[in-house]
Amino acid sequence: MRSCMFAVGACAALIVSTAAAHGPQIQITNDSNKITTRALVPDGPYSTSLTSPKSVYVMPALTFNNVWYSRPNGAIDTILLQPSFPSGSGFAYGYDLADGGPQAFDVGSFISLSFTAGLKRWDGAAFVDAGATELKAFRGSDPTITTPLANFAVTSDLGPFDSLSLAAVAAGYGSDGAEVHSSLRFALLGDGTSPTSASADGVYLVGLQVSSSQAGTTPSDPYFFVLNKNAEWSTVSAAVGSLGIAASLQQWVVPEPGTCGLLLVGVVALCGRRTRLRVRD
């Protein structure tokens, strides 16, 4: 019984910690006037340590309200019984303050995300054009957003490639301070326009880059999202391997959606079974 209560308590603690959370963010830093993309942190806090540089983020694409989103954090809201964080990842950029240094991103400057190529899909041998399917990045929660243009971007087969801007950087990074972050969502557009249109299963690849309007600041090196939509892990592994990028620069985010909820149900069932057994004895 004691072990049952421990497991229930552990899940309860996770539920409480998720209640005031902000979800998945990629830690970015301004290093000698060049932006570096670092580890994807599934949830806050985001500034407890300086994470290592990353350039490939492997994550599932999962559905919510008939829209297929990137989902680097699979936590489930136990009250609403839906994803706590339907999509991601955005950016957390306040580590410089946590480290005791000056603010690295200037007040009033804008951090932007841009696509560096069209959306690709793995054909078993190489990443090729994904056909009609595109990927939409956007601020807020509405995948059908069409205005303002600065708040969303859509992949295309030809450049110049689309970009979106985050809110202006505040003094001291505003009320969040070192924990400042800006969330984003990414949705597949099966027909290139509608987020609820059907898209093929498989492994998708998109190239991205982070830049700043701050004078003298160089954009990040290009980095990649690899999205797994109902593909076998062996297929995902082969697709990622084709990129030729060192394993140390890869981050595989493979959460089990609803794990804690399923565990809690299982624990309750097990505890109930043990109680019944004791009664019978």
pLDDT at 151 > cutoff 50? yes
Please report which helix (H) or strand (E) contains residue 181, including its range: strand 181-182
What is the C-alpha to C-alpha distance for residues 240 and 48, in angstroms, rounded to an integer? Answer: 29
**Domains contained in the chain, number:** 1
Confidence of residue 163 (pLDDT cuts 50, 70, 90): very high
Mean pLDDT (whole number) for 20-24: 82
- How does the average pLDDT of the chain come out, rounded? 88
For the stretch 222-256, pLDDT in tens is 999 999 999 999 999 999 999 999 999 999 997 54
pLDDT at 265 > cutoff 80? no
For the stretch 32-49, pLDDT in tens is 999 999 999 999 999 999
Residue in this structure with the two tokens 């989902």, named with its chain if needed? 71
Contact of 152 with 203, CB cutoff 8 Å: no
Q: What is the pTM of this model?
A: 0.85
Q: What is the pLDDT of residue 255?
A: 54
Residue in this structure with the two tokens 């969502």, named with its chain if needed? 185
Q: Which domain holds residue 269?
A: 2-280
Confidence of residue 263 (pLDDT cuts 50, 70, 90): very low
